[in-house]
Amino acid sequence: MDQAICSPSRAGVMTGPYPHQQGALTSNIRLPAAVPCLPEMLGDGDYRTGYIGKWHLGDEVFPQHGFAEWAATEDGYTNWYTEGRDHVFMEWNSGADEKAANAKAPAAGQTTYARGENGRAVVSPDGWKLCISDRDTGQLYNLTADPGECTNLFASAEHKAVVARLPRKIHVWQANVGDKLGV
């Protein structure tokens, strides 16, 4: 596709038609359910379909448009999440090598530590995002009051009930998908 921005180009690759024909005219726009993607066009149970990477054509967390397996990148597009559902997902340090190469005087071992960290996160229907990792302290954000995730409330005594409630959702998801990361 020769589109200048990612979502229309991605939608074109997935659906075939140009943006003005399939509805994804700008970035971060929900692809209409009536517009079939490649897995829906296959219509054959002999294919196992999956999506990995950035989606930005609707909900980032749940499989859609005929994909059976789903590992889209969550990167803050909470406006597109399906309402009333918990969103549990993996977080990782993508581009850590490039960031580490351009970092200004990191402490000894700091970038190696960051590259090895793995995390799991949940965004709840009531607007909380909890991130927990196998190596670091947690992060808690109130996405309604702080959509830019600027204030980490994890250590706040006022939010202990939220911190106690949300890890269970991550652990249930881990059990369902066979994720063995100890968070």
Q: Output the 3-class SS for the chain.
A: CCCCCHHHHHHHHHHCCCHHHHCCCCCCCCCCCCCCCHHHHHCCCCCCCEEEECCCCCCCCCCCCCCCEEEECCCCCHHHCCCCCCEEEEECCCCHHHHHHHCCCCCCCHHHHHHHCCEEEEECCCCEEEEEECCCCCEEEECCCCCCCCCCCCCCHHHHHHHHHHHHHHHHHHHHHCCCCCC
132 vs 167: CA distance, rounded Å? 8
Rg of the chain over all Cα atoms, to the nearest angstrom: 19
Enumerate the domain spans of the chain: 1-81, 83-183
User: CATH number for the 83-183 domain, one of 3.30.530.20, 2.40.50.140, 3.30.1120.10, 3.30.110.30?
Assistant: 3.30.1120.10
What is the pLDDT at residue 81?
58
**What's the pLDDT score for residue 154?**
93
How much is the pLDDT for 159?
A: 95
Q: How high is the pLDDT of residue 162?
A: 94
Given this model, what pLDDT does residue 93 score?
Answer: 42
Per-residue pLDDT of the chain (183 residues; tens, 9 = 90+): 556 778 888 888 889 888 888 888 877 777 888 899 999 998 777 888 888 877 878 777 778 888 888 777 665 555 555 665 555 555 544 444 443 444 444 444 444 444 455 778 888 888 888 888 877 788 899 988 887 788 999 999 999 999 999 988 888 878 877 777 777
